[in-house]
Amino acid sequence: MKSANTRAMVALVIGAVLTLAAFIGTFFWAAVPDYGTVSQPKYSFSARHPEAIDERLAHDYIGNRVGYEVEVVTDEGTVTGTLVAAEPKEGSGDGADAVMLATVATASGEQTIEVTKDDEVTAQIYNYGKPDWGQKIFYFHVPIAEISFIVFAVAAYFSVRFIMTRKREYDTKSRIAMELTMTFVALTMATGILWTKAAWGVWWQWEPRLTTYFIMTLLVVAYFVLRNSVEDEERRALYAAAFSILAFIDAPISFFITRLIPSTHPVIESGGLQPPMLITFIIAQIGMLFVGYAIYRLRMGEMELRDRIERAKTELEG
Amino acid sequence: MASASGRQFRAILRKDIVMELRTKEMLMSMGLYALLTMVVYFVALSQAGSEFDPRTIAAGLLWLAFIFTSLLGLNRSLVHEKDQGCLEALLLSPVDRPVIFFAKVVGNLTFLLIVEALTIPVFAFLFLQGHALESGAFSLVPLVMVAGSIGISGIGTLLATMSVNTSGKDFVLAMLFIPLVYPLLLGAVTATNAAIVGGPDAMMVFWQGMAWVAGYDVVMLLASYGLYEFIVGA
């Protein structure tokens, strides 16, 4: 009993320290992503809807604009299209006679052009005008959202255990995991809504990830509605267990939907984060995991205390 | 054993149908409810103007009607069982629980399909007259209707069995049912819309929606079948 609470407190402290570390890392270590210039308008509803501007590229900078719409003006003429590749021409030297080989996909097929220092290359870029501070919420929103899926899975797991064994403790565990799901889902929704306003310019959009997550929120609410409307204790536990298993079917759908169908909700691509960003993100993730575990333990301790009081009461009365 | 199960299945189903034929309560209430929904639709669309093409939202309106009618029917079908003590008697008799489940599902499905089959022509008569329909594709709407209704009555029967024992019957059923049935609804509306409106890749979109609905049917029927035994005995 005592050790369980100690463990919870230790977990809470570790979680708090890690979260604080992640907070510091977020603002003093991880770079603010430079959305000063990006190739395409990322989100169709952006508040800072970018204006297309032409960027004159330095000769050795062409390789950094692969994938952009470019216009290459050489002595032989003008070529416009998407830049596919750009590499220095072998043996061309790196002085005044340096030559880049730029491959451009045009309407009539790919074309490789020799670009010298005197040639003019412009890329079409979009100017957001200021650094993307809204991205900072990523270090909290994403870990919280992931934890919400994890605790939902834990709740479903304990529900299965309850149905198999009919032991009351599993019902309590499942219920507490569901309470945690509710907390983390609410936090995810709050941080997410702040971010969509900053990045997309709207508070809400019926977009696959947001929709399925909203449905998940409703399912978690429904779980508690169901619990509160059943009188009989054993029946309540069984119904709640069955419903949480059914409801959990939505979680994987919500989790994977951004990778299955076109969605404006961003996903983390492997290798997409610079080390300071990635490490801060991982610290935040572990910190949240500890906080979640600590809350779970503390609530379990509370339930055990309640049980003891109930038992003491019956003994005194008897 | 198999024939015994089949006999039990038929007996439970016949009981539901005979009771319905005598009282006509479920079909009447569901049918009239669907008709009332049409009146509400008319009011909702009354200010849309003559330029508005109701075909663009017909699929959504149809499934909206189906969902709310099915909520009414599902609740009814289980309230009867409970009030008249029929479910208890069924549980006392040596009948396998899955047999009860499938008999109830098929019974609910039958009534739901009858009401839906009546709703579609009424809806088309009231809202779609004078708008050209994809004649070939519109005949695919009943296919979506059947596939969607299988999922609705499968998951609905399980949830109604739960909600009938709660203090806020109708509300609890709606609260549990609508979020759970959301993926099915999305697929069904997509497929129905493709069939009604048509377009260049209508067939591809239609079959994608159908695949989604079919996948949901399989997953949810299996889950409901697995869980019903524990729910009905509680």
Q: How many domains does chain A contain in total?
A: 2
Residues of A in contact with B167 (CB under 8 A): 229-231
What's the predicted TM-score (pTM) here? 0.79
Say whether both A138 and A212 belong to one domain: yes
> Which of the pair, B99 or A4, is modelled with greater confidence?
B99
A187 and A244 inside one domain? yes
Nearest-Cα distance to chain B for A105, in Å, is 28
Within a domain: residue A42? Answer: no
The rounded distance, in Å, linking the Cα atoms of B142 and B120 is 9
Instruction: Report yes or no: A16 and A291 within 8 Å, Cβ to Cβ.
Output: yes
Domain-located, residue A195: yes
- A290 plus A150 within the same structural domain: yes
Q: Are residues A30 and A87 in the same domain?
A: no
Nearest-Cα residue of chain B relative to residue A213: B179
Q: What is the pLDDT of residues A18-53, one digit of tens each?
A: 888 888 887 777 766 655 444 343 343 344 445 566
Domain boundary among A110, A127, A144: A127
Judged by a CB distance cut-off of 8 A, whether residue B167 touches chain A is: yes
Secondary structure of chain B: what % helix, strand, coil (to 5)? 85, 0, 15
What percent of chain A stands above pLDDT 90?
Answer: 32
Residues recorded for chain A: 318
| Domain's final residue, options A127, A156, A172 | A127
CATH number of the domain within which A100 lies = 2.30.30
Category of B199 on φ-ψ map: left (φ > 0), alpha (ψ -120 to 50) or beta: left
> Are residues A175 and A114 part of one domain?
no
Question: Is residue A222 located within the same domain as residue A110?
Answer: no
Going by C-alpha positions, the residue among B86, B108, B107 that lies closest to residue B95 is B86
pLDDT tens per residue across span A152-174: 999 999 999 999 999 988 999 99
The verdict on A152 and A120 lying in the same domain is: no
CB contact under 8 A, B165 and A225: no
CB contact under 8 A, B223 and A245: yes
B230 — contact with chain A (CB < 8 Å)?
yes
A43 found inside a domain: no
Q: Check CB contact of B223 with chain A, cutoff 8 Å.
A: yes
Residue A65, both tokens: 């604009």
Same domain, A121 and A144: no
Q: Quick one: pLDDT at residue A259?
A: 76
Once rounded to an integer, what is the mean pLDDT over residues B135-151?
A: 87
Q: Residues A94-122: pLDDT tens digits? A: 666 778 888 888 888 888 888 888 888 88
* Chain B residues with CB-CB distance to A210 below 8 A: none
Which residue of chain A comes nearest to B172, CA vs CA? A226
**Pairwise pLDDT comparison (A58 vs B113), residue with the higher score:** B113
Residues A236 and A113 in one domain: no
Place of tokens 């979109």: B205
Q: What is the 3-state secondary structure (H, E, C) of B6-35?
A: HHHHHHHHHHHHHHHHHHCHHHHHHHHHHH
Domain shared by A167 and A263, yes or no: yes
Q: Judge whether A222 is closer than 8 Å to chain B, CB to CB.
A: yes
Partner A contacted by B180 (CB < 8 A): yes
Position B60 pLDDT exceeds 90: yes
A57 three-state secondary structure? coil
Q: Which of A53-57, A162-166, B27-31 has the lowest mean pLDDT?
A: A53-57
The label of the residue with tokens 């699929």 reads B59
Q: Taking CB atoms and an 8 Å cutoff, what residues of chain B touch A239?
A: 162, 165-166, 231, 234
Contact A161, A92 (CB under 8 A): no
Query: Does B200 contact chain A (CB < 8 Å)?
Result: no
For residue B144, what are its two tokens?
Answer: 């979506």
* Residue A245 contacts B, CB cutoff 8 Å: yes
**A263 with A180, same domain?**
yes
Of A84, A112, A127, the residue that ends a domain is A127
DSSP string spanning B154-185? Answer: HHHHHHHHHHTTSTTHHHHHHHHHHHHHHHHH
A219 contacts chain B (CB < 8 A): yes
For the segment A216-259, what is each residue's pLDDT rounded down to a tens digit? Answer: 999 999 999 999 999 888 999 999 999 999 999 888 888 888 77
Instruction: Output the domain CATH number for residue A311.
Output: 1.20.120
What SS3 class is residue A191?
helix
Chain A residues within an 8 Å CB radius of B165: 230, 232, 235, 239
Residue A264 inside a domain? The answer is: yes
**Cβ-Cβ contacts under 8 Å, A241 against chain B:** 230
Which distant-in-sequence residues (6+ apart) come within 8 Å of B234 by Cβ?
A: A232, A234, A235, A238, A239, B165
Q: Which domain holds residue A295?
A: 2-34+132-317
Q: Which of A215, A234, A245 sits opposite B227 (nearest CB)?
A: A245
Is the CB of A238 less than 8 angstroms away from the CB of B231? yes
A14 touches chain B (CB under 8 A): no
CA distance A299 to chain B (A): 26
Judgement on whether residues A61 and A191 belong to the same structural domain of the protein? no
